[in-house]
Amino acid sequence: MGHKILALLLLMMVSSASYSELVIRVTQGNDKPTKIAIAPIDQGGIKISEDISRIVESDLQRSGLFKTIERRDMLAFPGRAQDVYYRDWRLLGTEYLVAGQLRSIGSGRYQLEFSLLNVTAQKTVLTHKVSGSITQMRDLAHLMSDKVYEEITGIRGAFSTRLAYVTAVRKNNIYTYRLNVADADGAREKLVLESAEPIMSPSWSSNGKELAYVSFETGRPAIFRQNLVTAERQQLTNFTGLNGAPSWSPDGTKMAMVLSKDGNPEIYLLDLQSNKFSRLTRHFAIDTEPTWMRDGKSLLFTSDRGGTPQIYKLNIATKATERLTFNGNYNARPNLAPDGRTMALVHRQTDTFHIASFDLKTGRMIELTETRLDESPTVAPNGAMIIYATKQGDRGVLAAVSLDAGVRYVLPSSIGDVREPAWSPFLR
């Protein structure tokens, strides 16, 4: 059965197209979005390649909670709060306005100062400064989006986070697999690893500086960890059979994983300091896909020990297990939201795989997606959105849905197949 699961995963990753940066298409937004204007940043003659205001517009629109005012409709482009004439913005139905300016502060660094103004109340509600080099303008724009989003919604912004994902490229019937990392909006895609053999299951370290993943480059699945700054790699496993589903502990000192070195897929724990393995489950069924609870004392995992794949909770100290899901004939790939209570998962009620949310306290299951063949949910570190892999025609794409299912967007590559998304933790 384990071989069948592995073969299915590899089949779903393969595509005949090439790859490129992700693009974003919002397909459903909030019914009553907040109308906000992002005035073009006053650059004071500084030449930069990025349009900071456009990036902020895109970030806020992608959240589905905002409708931005078209730049061509703006009556003025204020760079400071004191330059704002509220009447001009009320005429456009604007609820909030963002104005900012960029200036050099020496030594090759620049400061972006911006203000968020409540047009209805005619007052400034936020003024903030961020600084960086000329190559960090996109970072400054995402930080600006984070601050504006949090001030209005009360939820920490996640625009400065990153996504890891896997692409498959076929040329002359030869496949090349790539592990990539990009900004949360799909920009600045960077290659982490390229291989002629499959790459699967990327997992972020708690500090966002490393990735663990499964690579078949040695001829069989093995788990690696890689520093994203230095590119230094370390092979963590080399056992016969299955080596898969790595998951970092919240404190970064341990890694849960699936090994079949003793004959059956079981959950193991690797101490990253001592390099010692300990076995956590002992059952004739397949135990897989571990993910950590926030306290670092328990794991969620998928097992078919009850006859069909379902989600279980494992106490690491006592090894006691508890079945959590009973609704549906398939529940797998658990991924916990930051609240420690809401779990995203792949759910099948009859014959279609959807992404669902599950309340660990009430046991309530809610289907969130309307697409088919949905898999690999990963929750944003602020708990606002879930990114998952799905099919669009014959291509694999990434899609996103909010936990209340009110917002949706799609992140296909301009050409190609994308799978196995993993959303980073907060990076600052």
Neighbour order of strands in the sheet with 385-392: 25-28, 408-411, 395-402, 385-392, 375-379
Predicted pLDDT at 212: 98
Angle at 336 between CA 222 and CA 377, to 5 degrees: 65
- Name the more confident of 396 and 112: 112
- Is the predicted pLDDT of residue 1 greater than 50, yes or no? no
Considering the chain, what percentage of its residues have pLDDT values greater than 70? 92
Which H/E stretch holds residue 146?
helix 137-153
- What's the topology of domain 2-26+161-423? Neuraminidase (2.120.10)
Residue pair 355/368 in contact (Cβ under 8 Å)? The answer is: yes
Q: What single string gives the DSSP state of each residue in 226-268? A: EETTT--EEE----SS-EEEEEE-TTSSEEEEEE-TTSS-EEE
Quick one: average pLDDT of 29-43?
90
Predicted pLDDT at 13: 36
Contacts of 275 (CB under 8 A, 6+ apart): none
Q: Which two tokens stand for residue 269?
A: 């724990």
Q: What's the mean per-residue pLDDT of the chain?
A: 91
Quick one: average pLDDT of 397-411?
87
Residues 86-95 have pLDDT tens digits of 999 999 999 9
Measured between alpha carbons, how far apart are the two ends of the chain, in Å?
42
Q: How confident is the model at residue 26 (pLDDT cuts 50, 70, 90)?
A: low
Same fold, 2-26+161-423 and 31-153: no
Judged by phi (left if over 0) then psi (alpha if -120 to 50, else beta), residue 45 lies in left
Residues 215-243 have pLDDT tens digits of 999 999 999 999 999 999 999 999 999 99
Q: What is the CATH number of domain 31-153?
A: 3.40.50.10070
Q: How far is CA 95 from CA 86, 150, 186, in A?
A: 10, 16, 28
Residues 366-375 have pLDDT tens digits of 999 988 789 9
Residues 141-167 have pLDDT tens digits of 999 999 999 999 999 999 999 999 999
Quick one: average pLDDT of 392-408?
86
Residues 248-303 have pLDDT tens digits of 999 999 999 999 998 899 999 999 999 999 999 999 999 999 999 999 999 999 99
Q: Where are the domains of the chain?
A: 2-26+161-423, 31-153
Q: How far is CA 10 from the centre of its chain?
A: 21
Angstrom distance (rounded) from CA 248 to CA 370: 31
Q: Which two tokens stand for residue 402?
A: 């909010």
Q: What are phi and psi of 342, to 5 degrees?
A: -95, 130
Predicted pLDDT at 28: 73
Predicted pLDDT at 415: 61
- Name the more confident of 175 and 130: 130
Q: What single string gives the DSSP state of each residue in 195-226? A: ESS-EEEEEE-TTSSEEEEEE-TTSS-EEEEE
Predicted pLDDT at 183: 95
Among 10-19, 343-352, 400-409, whose mean pLDDT is lowest?
10-19
pTM (two decimals):
0.90
